[in-house]
Amino acid sequence: METVCDGKRWDVALSFRKGEIVGAMPYLLGCRMGMRYILQPQLTQYNGPWYRYPEGLDECRRLSFEKQVAQDLWRQILALRPAYYQQNFSPAVTNWLPFHWAGCSQTTLYSYRLGDISDSQRLFDAFDRDERQKKILRLEPQTRIVTNLSPDRFARYHRAYWEGKGQRDLLSEEFITRLCSVATNRDNGMIVGLEDLDGNLIAARFVVYDDRCAYSLLSAFDKAHYLNGATETLVWGTLQALRDKTCAYDFEGSMDEGIEYFYRSFGAVQTPYFRVTRCFNPLFRVLLRAQQFKVKHF
In a domain, residue 253? The reply is no
Indicate if the pLDDT at residue 258 is higher than 50.
Answer: yes
pLDDT computed for residue 252 by the predictor? 85
Whether 55 and 135 share a structural domain? no
What mean pLDDT comes out for the span 264-271? 93
Q: Enter the DSSP assignment of 251.
A: -
pLDDT computed for residue 246 by the predictor? 97
CATH number (domain holding residue 24): 3.40.630
Indicate if the pLDDT at residue 212 is higher than 60.
Answer: yes
Residue-wise pLDDT for 80-138, tens only, equals: 999 999 999 999 999 999 999 999 999 999 999 999 999 999 999 999 998 889 999 99
pLDDT computed for residue 297 by the predictor? 42
Contact 17, 66 (CB under 8 A): no
| CB-neighbour burial class of residue 10 (10 A; exposed 0-12, middle 13-18, buried 19+) | middle
CATH number (domain holding residue 231): 3.40.630.30
Whether 150 and 229 share a structural domain? yes
Instruction: Name residue 184's beta-bridge partners.
Output: none
Q: What total number of domains does the chain contain?
A: 2
Please indicate whether residue 32 or residue 297 has the higher confidence score (pLDDT): 32
Whether 104 and 182 share a structural domain? no
Whether 151 and 240 share a structural domain? yes
From 7-11, 163-167, 251-255, the region with the lowest mean pLDDT? 251-255
Indicate if the pLDDT at residue 203 is higher than 50.
Answer: yes
pLDDT computed for residue 298 by the predictor? 46
pLDDT category at 197 given cuts 50, 70, 90 is very high
Q: Three-class SS of residue 224?
A: helix
Whether 120 and 236 share a structural domain? yes
* DSSP H or E run through 221: strand 213-221
Whether 16 and 105 share a structural domain? yes
- Please give the residue range of the domain that contains residue 233: 116-246
- 15-23 long-range Cβ contacts below 8 angstroms, 24+ apart: 15/68, 15/69, 15/72, 15/73, 20/52, 21/52, 22/51, 22/52, 22/54, 22/65, 22/69, 23/49, 23/50, 23/51, 23/52, 23/69, 23/70, 23/72, 23/73
Whether 100 and 120 share a structural domain? no
